[in-house]
Amino acid sequence: MYKWPQGRVIRTICLLLTLIVAADLGYNGAYGPYNFYLTAGAGAEGATRQLVIGVLFTVLALGAFSAGLISIGFHQRAVEFLIEVEQEMVRVEWPTTPVLIRSTLIIAVAIVVMAVLIIGVDFTNYHFIELVSWLGGKL
């Protein structure tokens, strides 16, 4: 593997996330719906169709897993990027609890203000359109 000792943590995390996505695609595409069709009484035709779709999803999941494995282990640009990400994450200054709470409150207040403004504009536009429609009916 290309520069394996460097960026080992972030590469392992990426590999695990890819494996989780592949397992999710395989299960939700194959076994879960196939089992549902068999137990729900949809018949063998529905179960067979779902099994074919599930096998397709499983093949796609294995392809995604293989591509992820190759990209995080052997592709030079991807490896360099992941190594830089891990080095940058070490230098990140994480916020303290009071700063995090204050920032969250500021964002929440900004969201509420924006929501009120959007509702006000919608309300004004609605009544303006009703006024124009009413005037158009009078002419």
Question: What DSSP string describes 7-26?
Answer: THHHHHHHHHHHHHHHHHHH
Give the pLDDT band of residue 130 (cuts 50, 70, 90): very high
Where is pLDDT greater, at 48 or 87?
A: 87
CA quadruple 104, 109, 113, 115: dihedral sign? positive
Mean pLDDT of the 63-85 span: 75
Q: Tens of pLDDT along 90-121?
A: 888 888 999 999 999 999 999 999 999 999 99
Residue 7 has pLDDT above 80, yes or no: no
Q: At a CB cut-off of 8 Å and minimum separation 6, what does 33 contact?
A: 50, 53, 54
Under the phi-then-psi rule, with left for phi > 0, alpha for psi from -120 to 50, and beta for the rest, what region is 92? beta
Residue 80 has pLDDT above 90, yes or no: no
The first and second tokens of residue 19, run together, are: 């494996």
The first and second tokens of residue 94, run together, are: 């994480």
Residue 42 has pLDDT above 60, yes or no: no
Specify the pLDDT at position 29: 65
Which of 60, 52, 14 is closest to 33 using CA atoms? 52
pTM over 0.85: no
Q: Are 30 and 55 in contact (CB under 8 A)?
A: yes
Domain boundaries of the chain, sorted by first residue? 1-92, 94-139
Residue 8 has pLDDT above 90, yes or no: no
Q: What percent of the chain has pLDDT over 90?
A: 27
Specify the pLDDT at position 112: 98
Q: Count the Cβ atoms, other than its own, within 10 Å of residue 69.
A: 17
DSSP label at residue 6: T
Give the pLDDT band of residue 89 (cuts 50, 70, 90): confident
Specify the pLDDT at position 124: 97
Q: What percent of the chain has pLDDT over 70?
A: 76
